[in-house]
């Protein structure tokens, strides 16, 4: 089954404790992105990657890091989480080319930073 998976689905942590949210897709997509969803703000892009070893900032990159060492994986790293990073996070992927640039989303990771 074609899918994007994320782990963990739920995470409660404390300020300053480094964490990683994993994302993996099995569709051989070149592009991957991370979004955060906050009430009243919709979804905003954090980082994106065009292919292995190629990443760049989205609209709200502060406080986050990413890496793309393998095509299928795109982890999101919070080196020193703060309460304002409490949010619902989605990973997404899509193939290069095509007409619509439709993106495929993972199930989400709900992060709480206390």
Partner 1 sequence: GDSVTQMEGPVTLSEEAFLTINCTYTATGYPSLFWYVQYPGEGLQLLLKATKADDKGSNKGFEATYRKETTSFHLEKGSVQVSDSAVYFCALSGVSGGSNYKLTFGKGTLLTVNP
How is residue 42 written in tokens?
């919709």
Closest to partner 1 by CB, 100 vs 114, is 100
Cα 107 from Cα 30, distance rounded (Å): 19
Shortest distance, position 81 Cβ to partner 1, whole Å: 22
Closest to partner 1 by CB, 78 vs 92, is 92
How is residue 57 written in tokens?
């900032």
Sign of CA dihedral 38, 43, 46, 47: positive
Shortest distance, position 60 Cβ to partner 1, whole Å: 12
Q: What is the contact surface with partner 1 in residues (CB under 8 A)? A: 31, 33, 35, 40-45, 48, 50, 56, 58, 90, 92, 94, 99-108
């Amino acid at each position: 089954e074609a899918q994007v998976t994320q782990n963990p689905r739920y995470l409660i942590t404390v300020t300053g404790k480094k964490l990683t949210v994993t994302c993996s897709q099995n569709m051989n997509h070149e592009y991957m992105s991370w979004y955060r969803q906050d009430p009243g703000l919709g979804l905003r892009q954090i980082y994106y990657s065009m292919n292995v070893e190629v990443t760049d900032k989205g609209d709200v990159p502060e406080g986050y890091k990413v890496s793309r060492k393998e095509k299928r994986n795109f982890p999101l790293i919070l080196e020193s989480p703060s309460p304002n990073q409490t949010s619902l996070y989605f990973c997404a992927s899509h193939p290069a080319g095509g007409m619509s640039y439709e993106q495929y989303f993972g199930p989400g990771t709900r992060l709480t930073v206390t």
